[in-house]
Structure 1
Amino acid sequence: MKKTYTSFKEIENDLRRLNLQRQISLEEMKLLKSNLKEDIQPYQWFSTVLSAVKKYGILYLIKRMFK
């Protein structure tokens, strides 16, 4: 869809708006990258595994107690 401009002011406003949208998108991508780095840290994996081991360990102990 083509837009017809009637003045340079309109062009400048659109360029400014598009530049701001581009900057916002870049910052969002940086945030996503940072979040991804945090999510794949070994500590995160360790805490996930530890919580699963706790859950199944407790269930195992309960089963052993009631045998």
Structure 2
Amino acid sequence: MKKKNYSSLEEINTELHLLSLQRKIHMEELKLTKHQLKEDLSPANWINTALQGIKKYGILMLLRKIIK
């Protein structure tokens, strides 16, 4: 990180406020990522993904029988 020279206390306070807001934003992004990961790893999501795969496979097999 580049060393920054400040000329007033107001600049320091502004920079601290900006960094605090950035930190809060990053914390909210981490919370969102955690929530999304929890949803992705849920058993209900696994079942839904498996059912979609089975549907696609079933349609493919049906089309093969129709074509032959």
TM-score, normalised to structure 1, is 0.89
Cα deviation, residue 5, structure 1: 0.6
Paired letter, 2:20? N
Report runs of 4+ in structure 1 exceeding 4 Å deviation.
none
Cα deviation, residue 2, structure 1: 1.1
Cα deviation, residue 61, structure 1: 2.5
Counting aligned pairs with the same residue, the percent is 49
Asked if residue 7 in structure 1 is aligned to residue 8 in structure 2, the reply is yes
Structure 2 unaligned segments of length 5 or more: list them: none
Question: 2:25 aligns to what?
Answer: 24
SS at match of 1:3: coil
Structure 1 unaligned segments of length 5 or more: list them: none
TM-score, normalised to structure 2, is 0.88
